Amino acid sequence: MLATRNRGKLAEYRRLLGGAGVALLDLDEAGVGEEVEEDGATFLANASRKAREYARLARLPVLADDSGLVVDALGGDPGVRSARFGGPGLDDAGRIRHLLARLGGVADRRARFVCVIALARPGGPAARVYLGQCDGRIGREPRGPGGFGYDPVFVLPDGRTMAELPDGEKDQISHRGLAVAELLAQLDLAAWAAVAAPPVTSQAT
């Protein structure tokens, strides 16, 4: 199971893991209505907690990621709050507007996308972790029809935004694509997911 309700993220992971021999369900498809609070101070803390807790709730092996945008001029914001940047109720376009307003006329617009993937089985810890990072800068206005989140304002070294890349090219260089590549280089994901999990206890871990 993929620990998300974000349809864009689900579609991206289904592309990235298309040859891994696993069937990905999101939280809704797995019948998980509960929300695990993402209150950690780091991407690692949030990814690990989501993997562990959603595996317990769903009684399924779980892949969880915590990913976001880190902007140097904003002291690392939005960081772990990327999906909540600007307050509740904003959609992707609203968060982009808030980001551009915060940057204003700032010249140093260096930024990076970071992704931490954690895997956990029911009743166990988040024992496997993988990292991907993609460097770029924040543009002055959104460009491109693809992607989701902050992709339309994340400018790569060649001048294109992440939202202007074809899916296959994005998957080769994105933070999420690089984290998945590290995972697949080190682990047979289908075999890992098929291993019998330890018994699930009622005590939260």
Question: Hey, which residues are catalytic here?
Answer: 66
CB 205 within 8 A of CB 55: no
Pairing between β-strand 126-138 and β-strand 62-71 as defined by DSSP bridges: unpaired
Q: Report d(CA 118, CA 125) in Å as an integer.
A: 10
CB 178 within 8 A of CB 115: yes
Single out the residue of 119, 157, 150 nearest to residue 136, CA to CA.
Answer: 157
Single out the residue of 55, 54, 89, 50 nearest to residue 67, CA to CA.
Answer: 50
Show the DSSP H helices in the chain as ranges. 7-16, 43-58, 92-103, 167-173, 175-186, 189-194
